[in-house]
Amino acid sequence: MGERIVAKVVGTLIGAVVVFLGLLLIGLRWQVGPVVDFVRRMNRSVTNPRVMRTAGTSQTATAVIQHVGRRSGRTYETPVILAKAPEGFIAELTYGDDVNWYRNIVAAGGCVVIHHRVEYGVDQVELFEAKRGREAFPAPFRTTLQATGRSEFRLLRTESSPLLGG
């Protein structure tokens, strides 16, 4: 009798987690405001601080974008998964173009990307076609981008060579 109760509780919890993750996936795919805001807040307060421990190193696919605040003038660092391209880096705008790091680099006309411990100066930000943007990422990321319907990509065009000291 006790085993049946435990099995029902575990089954219910697993079912609830699957439904929650499904709703998140659907909400992100169709850009449902409250879902996108929830994920953005969770990433900013929980995920990003942990990711920053290894971001920009060769241990991870996550790069660091150093950008200057539009109003504060303060330098910020944001972890972002970027794909390396001959012209620079491809960024996928999960939350659209109304996020601080992106608005800051557009306003400033550039930023610094730290990728595998090397600093690259970005001097232009350009729209990038969605199909080509997804194709720029390695298979596991590409699959996720396709499944979640990601379609907003930007080319972060870098200067001809890495920055000194990078």
Q: Please state the φ and ψ torsions of residue 47, each to the nearest 5 degrees.
A: -75, -50
CATH topology of domain 55-158: Pnp Oxidase; Chain A (2.30.110)
The arithmetic mean of pLDDT across residues 11-16, rounded, is 82
The answer, yes or no, to whether residue 165 has pLDDT greater than 70, is no
Q: Give Cα separations from 156 to 5, 9, 33, 82, 83 (angstroms).
A: 54, 48, 26, 9, 10
Cα angle value 23/24/27 (rounded, 5°): 80
Put simply, whether the predicted model's pTM sits higher than 0.75 gets the answer yes
- DSSP-derived 3-state class of residue 96: coil
Q: Is the dihedral of CA 38, 39, 41, 46 positive or negative?
A: positive
Q: Cα separation of 161 and 73, whole Å?
A: 26
The whole-number pLDDT of residue 82 equals 95
Task: Check if the beta carbon of residue 77 is closer than 8 Å to that of residue 65.
Answer: yes
> Where in the chain are the domains?
55-158
Structure confidence by residue, pLDDT tens digits, 73-126: 999 999 999 999 999 999 999 888 989 999 999 999 999 999 999 999 999 999
* Residue of 58 and 6 predicted with greater confidence: 58
Q: Give Cα separations from 43 to 36, 101, 131 (angstroms).
A: 11, 14, 25
Q: Please name which of 51, 35, 46, 127 lies closest in space to residue 90, comparing C-alpha atoms.
A: 127
